[in-house]
Amino acid sequence: MTTLLTHIGKIITWHSDRQSMIIDTESDIMIEDGRIIKIGPDLGEADYIIDCHGKMVSPGFVDSHTHPVFMHGREEEFQMRLQGATYEEIALAGGGIVSSIKGVREATEDELIHKVRDRMDTFLSLGTTTIEAKSGYGLDVESELKSLSVLDKVNQHHEIDIHSTFMGAHAFPPEFAKNKDGYIEYICQNMLPKIAKQGIAEYCDVFCEKGYFSVEQSRKILVTAKQYGLKIRLHADEFVDSGAAELAGELNACSADHLMAISDNGIQSLKENHVVATLLPGTTFFLGKSTYAPYKKLKLAGVNIALATDFNPGSCYIQSMPFMLALACIYLKMDILDAFKASTIMGAKALGLEKTVGSIEEGKKADIVVWNVEDPVEIPYNVNQSLIRSVIKNGKKLK
């Protein structure tokens, strides 16, 4: 079956041959069996026609950093924070990550599947067609395996493409609070072998940060994960410069994420080792902080930059990539075409998927957003409006 997108005003996409973003104003898009087979003027007839009415189309978003496997939102903690409560006060009241851990450990797989499926419906409706999703609210063997199994089962029955990450090193669970090195051993000797055997996780992520997992502890976990065949990514230099970006370079990670406190050496390390810098402006925004990642410095250094949501119940309860475009433009001073590049092809690169998704090019998956706008800058400008006309996933129009 063929599908033709016609009367397109503008195609905004990465162009592999030119190695830049382009705005194509002349072309139709022909899709067959879920793939883009031809892009050009007057492509003729097809079994199914999608009239874009002169509006803009872009690739589906690739959200390369999310934490969607949890039971409940943490509104009470949000409220406490608004009233000035500290991290410690929130933890004492039973809030923080510990409450999400309790939720996942006590939940059945079916209960979690329900929650994650609903969240994926929302992601897709907001234009995200490929997503990275982490475990990391179980923090024991059984609950981490359960979290990954939930992602696998949702992925099998949902249009969105989910790529899973094992994040046992998200925090220290209460039973290891006084034996941190013991938890590192537990991850390396008990968790990772079983995660690898389960075969769902493609990546391993670590929260490498002062007060969480040190560079040495992170290195040990990530080196072991690599031995089990997992690709690696890091939460790096979010609050202080702890040398996490340098570690990402040393270990040839796919991506180093957050980076609000990255050093010049860290930037150099990402550049030299081709590690994607994934910026998550939603977290700074949602926490009411003002320190965003040094986007201009990273760009000047020639580092590849991706944008993602960091959707999670604590520090960023935001699923919208269009909203991330707005934050990137307003707070990081990112050019809108660069923001599209960061949230499509660079998101794909951060996951090692740049050959199959992230741009509107012949041979790629037909993952496309048809917008209700004519120019890309209308998206950050109309910051609170849903401007998506339809989402096309694997060539199928979803709404």
Give yes or no for a contact between 59 and 15, defined as CB atoms under 8 angstroms apart: no
Indicate whether 205 belongs to the interface with Zn ion (CB under 5 A): no
**Toward Zn ion, which CB reaches closer, 140 or 310?**
310
Q: Number of residues interacting with Zn ion: please give it, by CB under 5 A.
A: 1
Near Zn ion in 101-120, by CB under 5 A? none
**Min. distance of Cβ 312 from Zn ion in angstroms?**
6
**Toward Zn ion, which CB reaches closer, 28 or 310?**
310
Give yes or no for a contact between 357 and 59, defined as CB atoms under 8 angstroms apart: yes
In the block, which residue shows the tokens 């040393």? 250
**Min. distance of Cβ 175 from Zn ion in angstroms?**
23
Closest CA relative to residue 259, chosen from 301, 204, 226: 301
Closest residue (Cβ) to Zn ion? Answer: 310
**Min. distance of Cβ 67 from Zn ion in angstroms?**
6
* CA–CA dist 375, 12 (Å, integer): 9
β-partners of residue 388 are 371
**Min. distance of Cβ 280 from Zn ion in angstroms?**
7
**Toward Zn ion, which CB reaches closer, 57 or 222?**
222
What are the Cα distances from residue 345, in Å, to 24, 28, 177, 276? 17, 20, 40, 11
Torsion of CA 117, 154, 112, 121, to 10 degrees: -10
Closest CA relative to residue 376, chosen from 83, 96, 58: 58
SS3 126: coil
**Min. distance of Cβ 286 from Zn ion in angstroms?**
12
- Binding piece for Zn ion, criterion CB under 5 A, among 139-147, 307-315, 343-351, 379-387: 307-315
Among 310, 338, 354, 367, binds Zn ion (CB under 5 A): 310
**Toward Zn ion, which CB reaches closer, 63 or 354?**
63
- Binding piece for Zn ion, criterion CB under 5 A, among 50-58, 154-162, 306-314, 360-368: 306-314
* CA–CA dist 270, 283 (Å, integer): 21
**Min. distance of Cβ 366 from Zn ion in angstroms?**
29
CA angle 231, 235, 237 (to 5 degrees): 135
**Min. distance of Cβ 235 from Zn ion in angstroms?**
5
* CA–CA dist 64, 309 (Å, integer): 8
Indicate whether 63 belongs to the interface with Zn ion (CB under 5 A): no
* CA–CA dist 207, 370 (Å, integer): 36
- Binding piece for Zn ion, criterion CB under 5 A, among 14-22, 81-89, 140-148, 302-310: 302-310
**Min. distance of Cβ 136 from Zn ion in angstroms?**
8
**Toward Zn ion, which CB reaches closer, 132 or 161?**
132
- Binding piece for Zn ion, criterion CB under 5 A, among 124-132, 140-148, 221-229, 309-317: 309-317
Q: How far is CA 58 from the centre of its chain?
A: 18
Closest CA relative to residue 13, chosen from 367, 381, 396, 389: 367
**Toward Zn ion, which CB reaches closer, 10 or 233?**
233
Kindly list the residues in this chain that would bind Zn ion in the complex (CB under 5 A). Answer: 310
